[in-house]
């Protein structure tokens, strides 16, 4: 599945909240999110609009690996 090209950091953070992540803190334009289910996992989301495709791909790949699902399944859930 293709990556969305118009996704902002704020929209990605909202989607990650639906997956069980909580916003720990924000420093400048970077949002630090944590999920404590199934072991503690941290993700840093840049609050840019739009997110660059490489950065979005890296974040989604990391989250999908932690959740034990494929990246394409995760994109479908966004």
The residues spanned by each domain of the chain are 9-77
Compute the average pLDDT of residues 56-71: 95
* CATH classification number, 9-77, choose in 3.30.70.1230, 3.40.630.30, 3.30.920.30, 3.40.50.720: 3.30.920.30
Name the DSSP class of 57: H
Q: What was the pLDDT predicted at 23?
A: 96
pLDDT digits (tens, 9 = 90+) for 32-51: 999 999 889 999 999 999 99
Q: Quote the pTM value.
A: 0.91
pLDDT band of residue 76 (cuts 50, 70, 90) is: confident
Q: Cβ distance 22 to 64 under 8 Å?
A: no
Question: DSSP letters of 14-52?
Answer: HHHHHTT-EEEEEETTEEEEEE-TTS-EEEEEE--SSPP
Provide the 3-class DSSP secondary structure of residue 55: helix
Q: Is the dihedral of CA 11, 46, 71, 62 positive or negative?
A: negative
Higher pLDDT, 33 or 77: 33
């Amino acid at each position: 599945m293709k990556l969305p090209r118009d996704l902002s950091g704020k929209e990605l953070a909202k989607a990650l909240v639906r997956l069980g992540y909580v916003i720990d803190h924000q420093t400048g334009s970077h949002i630090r999110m944590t999920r404590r289910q199934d072991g503690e996992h941290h993700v840093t989301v840049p609050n840019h609009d739009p997110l660059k495709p490489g950065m979005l791909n890296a974040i989604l790949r990391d989250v999908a690996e932690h959740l034990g699902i494929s990246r394409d399944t995760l994109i479908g859930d966004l």
